[in-house]
Chains A and B, each alone.
Chain A
Amino acid sequence: MANKAYQRIYTRLEAITKATVSLKATGVSNDELALVDGRLGQVVKTKGDLVTLQIFSGTEGIPTDAAVTFLGEPPTLKVSDQLSGRFFDAYGHPIDGGPEVEGEERQIGGPSVNPYKRRQPSELIPTGIAGIDLNNTIVSGQKIPFFADPDQPYNQVMADVALRADVDKIILGGMGLSNDDYLFFRHAFESAGALDKIISFVNTTENPPVERLLVPDMALTAAEYFAVDKNEKVLVLLTDMTLYADALSIVSNRMDQIPSKDSMPGSLYSDLAKIYEKAVQLPTGGSITIIAVTTLNDGDITHAIPDNTGYITEGQLFLRADSDSGKVIIDPFRSLSRLKQRVQNIKTREDHSQVMNAGVRLYADAQNAKTKLENGFDLSDYDHRALAYAKDYATDLLSIDVNITITEMLDKAWELFGKYFSKAETGIKQSLIDKYWKGR
């Protein structure tokens, strides 16, 4: 993105906010990039000849006589196989000391896939974690976030999932990643010996927040290159989307937009959807699967960010600390994978969905018993059995440190049912009970 010789240089800014500058200029196109005092900005509004630019790295120190040149193009990324194994910043520049990538220059945030050209996602992505595989099976082409409080080990779980998943490329989009977490990912990828299939675009907490807005589009442009052009299975990890949304609200606020719920911009739903909907199963075999992280404030999913996310994504994986087992579990009540029916009982054993439902229902009974206990009531025999079951179920199946096959998960569940309940209490279809029941 070098300056071109004939370009006009503007030297007078009309207005400066923390995230934007405005100036009088002509012939400027919507979304195009500009250099303001050497910093990258993007056109977000024109009104007559007054142009407003959002400055990705913040406006600190920009003077009113700053030199402004327009670059005539929206942000781009050079794509080629050379992307593999590399670490980049939010602009797509290497941060690993390696050379710049050569390749075709593509505009980021490009058009959507024609829905009619999509295929139904149908390939199971096993993770070894029963809270996912058993209860919330994920499928290639799906988009699903972890909902987690900031103190949950979501980045670790995500790295586990990514490294166990059978995919061709893993693309990490890190937004507001702490330097420690950035180094964690780097180390996890390196020690798994998987570096050659990993590409990272990272904005850390040390970088300016508005820069984050580029990260998902960069990551997804790279993902589309491998999925569409190379027919590869691509897994995109986006962490943390809450910080991305915060950056959106900063820009919209500086542009005097009327905020809607929770001071988020009115377009939050569309903005997030544009990212998540890049998840796709293509007819040629390529796919983009998105696993994201949305951090919550004290488990509050009614906040505009998790709320809008939940309406866009195909489910959510809710992490929570469980006091019975002393482990972090994937909460079976608040978690959901909308595409699980696409593979359960089809790519997995015939009893999968019934076992899953029975397991969760019985776990719910245990929660009721727990409420009774807390309120000081006597527990029935059934309540005691349900509580004992819940502890085993959380430890052996819901905990995020489980790593077994789906068949082992199903067998484990039958074992627990047989240990604590009668056949009728599970409510499972008779034909399956006849075949799989263990114990009494």
Chain B
Amino acid sequence: MSTKGKVIGIVSNLVTVEVDGPVAENELCHITLDGTPLLSEVIKVNGNKASVQVFESTRGLKNGDEVEFLGRMLEVTLGPGLLSSVYDGLQNNLTTMETVFLKRGEYTDPLDREKKWAFTPFAKPGDRVAAADWLGEVKEGWLPHKIMVPFAFKGTWTVKSIVPAGDYTVDTQIAVLVGENGEETPVTMTQKWPVKVAVKAYREKPRPQRIMETGVRCIDTFGPIAEGGTGFIPGPFGCGKTVLQHAIAKQGDADVIVMAACGERANEVVEIFTEFPELIDPHTGRHLMERTTIICNTSNMPVAAREASVYTAMTICEYYRAMGLKCLLLADSTSRWAQALREMSNRMEELPGADAFPVDLSAIISNFYARAGMVVLNNGQTGAVTFIGTVSPAGGNLKEPVTESTKKSARCFYGLEQSRADQKRYPAVNPIESYSKYLEYPEIITFLDEHVEHGWVDKVNKAKNLVRRGREAADQINILGDDGVPVSYHISFWKSELIDFAFLQQDAFDDIDALTPMERQKFMLDLLLEICDREFEFEDFEQCRSFFKELINDLRQMNYTKFHSEEFEQYNQTITKLLEEYGK
């Protein structure tokens, strides 16, 4: 007998329910409005009163309306067919909904139940298996999609039977497992998992070992993110957060990309599902959409489902990680999620923390970031979830609760700067304040030594230092005037401009410049450092300026040409000639 209840209070999407039996925190319930069930989640219980957040509009709801508790938490359905899907925050398939307007209470199946998948068994009868062990695989696009022992299975199980290779639907029983006390449980290609619980069915979670290339120079070289690492991009509106995130999504070296559009613009999601099917993954040559799942709760969709959307996205990543794949989760923006928490907290009249956010905001954020990481699976293979979130700080001021809480959890910080954006210096990542903690990891230093060049991190730090020195020189020039400082200050300033214009700035809308492979990044950085190492002699600062402007122009033109193409080499020669003219 499930617990039932009645509505006794309504403020926007917070509904108070009087219950007649036990309820659990985060348990789901259906509130029936004119025959339509509205999905809701318990967020607080006080005596026989439960406060529930409704994932839909509560227009027309009345006191006395009936509530039925479902005895489970919010879950996602996992199985082949998740990739290239477009879901809402509750994992309803948006592509199969028929009407132009979203209909309240319309829930659609996340997976295609009719489609047949070519299954190849790995396990044999008699095999001893545990949660997340691979029983077999199907091909989802070009990716091997492992069919696993459901995460919820505790202890050791024995395979009693498994179907032979063949085409099956996701609901077909593909194996029967026997538990420690002899109970037989059938397994299909799908399983369910509560989104707010981290999937822990792996052997261990070591420190990250390698970097994830994005083709974005200011990230890969200046602040690389590790595979299984965490990072965040805070920035005022109009500084290019979304463009940067889309660039990472298009170019990131990952097997699976999950994009959570959390409380952001619907047109940005439209851009993803319109353009991604056309775009080619630079690493595999396949269509980008084939490796992408979109979870979208845009800003006008019900607020409570915003929170659900990031958890749904994370759980899908963890599922693919358990198959030994590299997953990248991008959430835009985690501030909207925090605001959704704030709205509910305010409606429940909880004592507010800073800026009226709930006091446990920091803990919630750090728990979420902790779900990312590289893991060693039970079979010794590895998988990773790399997580990059954006933060939309109120008023562009980074001293606000969401940014501060995120800074404590994320290991990479890519701070977007208004003044850079105003000058159209994109990506507007501040090269001085931004950082990657991974550059201090011995494992990552070793990786870069082996995969890029021995001593690479020293070079990166040298370049960063040149930029810092240039900024200091610029300050001096601004205070004392062009003539008030020696020409060496100008040289120092222009060296930093050189690195800024030719390396840090990158045209995300140019086919060639948008994606710079590590090899080319190394070439460019070497070239720039070599130029910066030279001694120059100029008659005055005017000459210095025009020399560097010309040099910068050539280098930028070079960035637009194909690596080592004829045009590229021509610019390279022009640059060499120019350097000879002015060198000592």
Contacts and interface: CB of A to CB of B under 8 A. Distances in A.
Interface in B1-40: 8-12, 16
B237 A273 contact: no
A67 B265 CA distance: 43
Interface stretch (A91-99, A334-342, A397-405): A334-342
Interface string B520-552: 000000000000000000000110010001101
B553 interface: yes
Given A48-B63, A121-B267, A267-B12, A115 B94 contact: yes
Contacts of A109: 59
B422 A260 contact: no
A156 interface: no
Interface string B54-67: 00011111111000
Contact of A111 (B58, B103, B267, B509): B103
Contact of A46 (B10, B237, B422): B10
B482 A378 contact: yes
A119 B100 CA distance: 11
Interface stretch (B125-133, B161-169, B292-300, B374-382): B292-300
Given A29-B60, A45-B11, A282-B100, A112 B301 contact: yes
A245 B516 CA distance: 45
B468 to A, nearest CB: 20
Interface in B231-254: 236-238, 242
Contacts of B182: none
B563 to A, nearest CB: 18
Given A74-B60, A116-B95, A118-B270, A228 B100 contact: yes
B284 interface: no
Interface string B470-513: 00000000100111100000000000000000000000010000
A397 to B, nearest CB: 16
A338 to B, nearest CB: 8
B289 interface: no
Contacts of A280: 266
A44 B11 contact: yes
A245 B109 CA distance: 38
Given A273-B300, A277-B298, A372-B481, A110 B101 contact: yes
Given A29-B62, A273-B300, A310 B356 contact: no
Interface stretch (B188-196, B219-227, B335-343, B445-453): B335-343
A277 B101 CA distance: 13
A333 B12 CA distance: 39
B269 interface: yes
Most buried by B among A269, A277, A282, A371: A269
A100 B560 CA distance: 62
A266 B346 contact: yes
B286 to A, nearest CB: 22
A153 to B, nearest CB: 23
Given A74-B59, A258-B356, A360-B424, A267 B100 contact: no
A424 B550 contact: yes
A116 B94 contact: yes
A360 B423 CA distance: 8
Contacts of A316: 238
Interface stretch (B210-218, B317-325, B393-401): B393-401
Nearest to A361: B424
A55 interface: no
A47 B101 contact: no
A47 B545 contact: no
A32 B62 CA distance: 10
B270 A375 contact: no
A31 interface: yes
B204 interface: no
A440 interface: no
B481 A377 contact: yes
B556 interface: yes
B62 A116 contact: no
Nearest to B479: A375
A128 interface: no
Interface string A110-142: 111111111111000000000000000000011
B130 to A, nearest CB: 38
Interface string A308-325: 101110111000000000
A425 interface: yes
Given A30-B58, A302-B397, A277 B265 contact: yes
Nearest to B541: A380
A248 B356 CA distance: 17
A310 B267 CA distance: 15
A345 B424 CA distance: 18
A304 B101 contact: no
Contacts of B57: 111
A30 B100 contact: no
A30 B56 CA distance: 13
Nearest to A277: B300
Contacts of B265: 277, 312, 314
Given A30-B10, A30-B59, A273-B300, A260 B356 contact: yes
A31 B58 CA distance: 8
B156 interface: no
Nearest to B11: A45
Contacts of A371: 478
B104 interface: yes
Nearest to A27: B62
A427 B552 CA distance: 9
A61 B47 CA distance: 40
Contacts of A261: 355-356, 394-395
B565 interface: no
A272 B407 CA distance: 28
Contacts of A267: 12, 303, 343, 346
Contacts of A303: 395
Contacts of A17: none
A237 B227 CA distance: 47
A113 B266 contact: yes
A375 B61 contact: no
B573 interface: no
B339 A364 contact: no
B263 interface: yes
A259 interface: yes
A82 interface: no
Nearest to B65: A29
Contacts of A380: 482, 541-542, 545
Contacts of A47: 8-9, 11, 16
B300 A112 contact: yes
Contact of A114 (B94, B237, B355): B94
Contact of A120 (B12, B270, B424, B550): B270
B48 interface: no
B424 A114 contact: no
25 contacts: A27-B64, A28-B63, A29-B59, A29-B61, A30-B58, A109-B59, A111-B57, A112-B102, A112-B266, A114-B94, A114-B97, A117-B97, A258-B349, A261-B395, A266-B343, A270-B299, A303-B395, A308-B394, A339-B267, A361-B423, A364-B423, A376-B481, A377-B484, A378-B483, A382-B542
Interface of B: 8-12, 16, 57-64, 86, 94-95, 97, 99-104, 236-238, 242, 263, 265-267, 269-271, 273-274, 296, 298-301, 303, 336, 339-340, 342-343, 346-347, 349, 352, 355-356, 392, 394-397, 422-424, 478, 481-484, 509, 541-542, 545, 549-550, 552-553, 556-557, 560
Interface of A: 26-32, 44-49, 74, 107, 109-121, 141-142, 228, 257-261, 265-267, 269-270, 273-274, 277-278, 280, 282, 301-304, 307-308, 310-312, 314-316, 333-334, 336, 338-339, 341, 353, 357, 360-361, 364, 371-372, 375-378, 380-382, 424-425, 427, 429-430
5 smallest CB-CB distances across A and B, nearest first, come from A302-B395, A273-B299, A277-B300, A377-B481, A310-B237
Given A46-B63, A302-B396, A372-B481, 8 more contacts: A46-B11, A48-B8, A115-B296, A120-B274, A266-B339, A280-B266, A377-B482, A378-B483
